[in-house]
A and B are shown apart, each in its own frame.
Chain A
């Protein structure tokens, strides 16, 4: 469009169309008579998707297993407990024992390397059965038994409420800063002509491609000298100085809004701030939501920042860092680790599912990953 003044127009950001109604162009109408192709393709997509998301299921099954089961070879994929048989005050494990060509479920009375004795739970008073062979080669009988207690254990062990509070607080303050600063900067680039605008906008976009390593050393050093390391400030303050992704996203949206209303407002005596507040922003709420969600998820998932700035202060850390610390301590207990992992990812995932339309459209406009 004519308003895209100069420079690095990111390819394929077909703004207006994308925001107004996504997904209708370019798709030929569905023809009749190709049900079979539909079926096959949809089936393939389901299989690929199942493989793609299977790690989540794996994590979930581990989270609701006991650690004994996770470490036991030959145990089922689903959460289960070994079946036992109460006999004279003892819990005897029930094993699958091949005897005389059939497999019987027998309770292990006396384990041995060469031979073991079993009793039949169906007839406990009958004399014990002796079986030749190594009992360790026999499989257990399992019964489905999800263990939800891992989630509760993680809640207290990791001090989940504290980490959750820190994560939410940092995310919300950062989001406020991002919304404030990016709105102003995007408004400046979208609606005002000033010498050097083209160069500055190019510079803004170029920062997307800048490797973080080239700025981190002095930045970290300055934060050390300011005494900010070990506080939230290094994570919060930069958010108030805008960032290229969100500015680009908002500017593109502002430019799709006709300028006539700005001009009308100006004639009515509205200053630039008033025009932004009462003309542009009421029309721009989808992009405001998109930027807010972007920053919330970004902040929630940020790892490197909290890692370098909060490593000495457990009481100030976020979920991401808390989870890493937790993994360092409890790595021998996969059930706990995976429970903590799921508790960390559930909120951004739900937030995304609730707002996915804004989220994906925002992503399309920048054509950029955050």
Chain B
């Protein structure tokens, strides 16, 4: 009668009167989300798409009209849009591996049976995750400052005479932004740790009996067993990195300095909408971003069959 514990019957099952009454309660309970979904997700998505086919803007000095695919054509010819896409891609290629691998390394360290006080370490590695975004940016801005920052003080201490001017130099800005991002690994570490704890210890025992060393059991047990979590972190990472723009917005006041290197694609959307108040073009860019992240997500899901291993699932 209730959902939990019952194997779901295929649709087509006739609902009896009682079942229908239960179903009505079900709809009633999910109504808050359903209404919110229509109001704040489905309708705005459709509206955004409709905007892309018009010349709508907040001031609307010219009469509103349907323009077909003009906005998309404009985008194809917009050098700034392509440059912004390039900025996002460049940053993504640098930030994604760090976002996926660094939390895994920390989790492996915290999971080791040799580590003392693992619980305290876990809490403290997670802690910066709850630091407010703006506080994190201001703290790391100070840390990465080329004159008074500790990172460059450390680099000079180990003999690097001219350490990079992280946030002022287009050649180093992405590395600087990635360093700023390491405070966000907390959630990934916790999720990876839970994955590691879920690996049955019999697998390791069996491997040891077969003479596998630490590397072999990591390679052939830990990594495959962890692949669903790695995959999950990767997909979320892709979606997140494509939307990245708040840090440069705050750090450089949305100017894209130095030299346009921080004019991320999402920042360009933000500018077009909030600064230039061009809703139609902003919406077009937003839909392109959505399409890119949808394609990438589907691609990742498609490829996942080749490397993601779901234990206990017949495939």
Contact = CB atoms under 8 A, between A and B. Distances in A.
Interface string A27-53: 111100010011001101100110011
A168 interface: no
A286 interface: no
A59 B134 CA distance: 13
Contacts of A181: 32-33, 36
A279 interface: no
Chain A interface residue number, banded: 35 or more
Contacts of A18: 194
B74 to A, nearest CB: 16
Interface in B210-234: 228-229, 231-232
Interface string A298-317: 00111110001000000000
Interface string B27-65: 111111111110111011101100100000010000000
B290 interface: yes
Interface stretch (B89-97, B104-112, B165-173): B104-112
A54 B150 CA distance: 9
Nearest to A327: B138
Interface of B, secondary structure class, is: helix
Contacts of A351: 130
Contacts of A207: 37, 41
Nearest to A61: B150
A215 B44 contact: yes
B131 interface: yes
B286 interface: yes
B252 interface: no
A211 B242 contact: yes
A344 B191 contact: no
B198 A45 contact: no
B206 interface: no
Contacts of A185: 29-30, 32-33
A193 B113 contact: no
Interface stretch (A3-11, A98-106, A141-149): A3-11
Contact of B115 (A28, A42, A334): A42
Contact of A304 (B114, B149, B198, B246): B246
A11 B3 contact: no
A255 B33 CA distance: 19
A219 interface: yes
A356 B26 CA distance: 33
B293 to A, nearest CB: 5
B150 A12 contact: no
A353 B269 CA distance: 37
A337 to B, nearest CB: 6
Contacts of A200: 30, 34
Interface string A213-243: 1111111111010000000000000101110
A77 B153 CA distance: 10
A351 B150 CA distance: 28
A99 to B, nearest CB: 28
B15 A195 contact: yes
A30 B204 CA distance: 14
B139 interface: yes
A364 B35 contact: no
B295 interface: no
Contact of A48 (B44, B109, B190, B191): B109
A370 B30 CA distance: 21
B109 A44 contact: yes
Given A53-B127, A363-B191, A190 B3 contact: yes
Contacts of A23: 197
B109 A41 contact: yes
23 contacts: A22-B194, A25-B198, A42-B114, A52-B182, A181-B36, A188-B27, A188-B28, A189-B3, A191-B3, A192-B3, A192-B23, A194-B23, A215-B45, A217-B273, A221-B58, A259-B4, A334-B142, A356-B123, A360-B126, A360-B190, A363-B187, A364-B194, A367-B229
Top 7 A-B pairs, shortest CB-CB distance: A241-B36, A188-B29, A192-B26, A11-B228, A194-B23, A218-B47, A215-B44
Given A11-B231, A26-B199, A73-B147, 20 more contacts: A2-B5, A14-B198, A28-B113, A52-B125, A54-B150, A55-B140, A58-B139, A58-B150, A189-B26, A189-B29, A191-B3, A198-B8, A211-B290, A254-B4, A301-B130, A323-B132, A341-B138, A345-B131, A345-B135, A356-B123
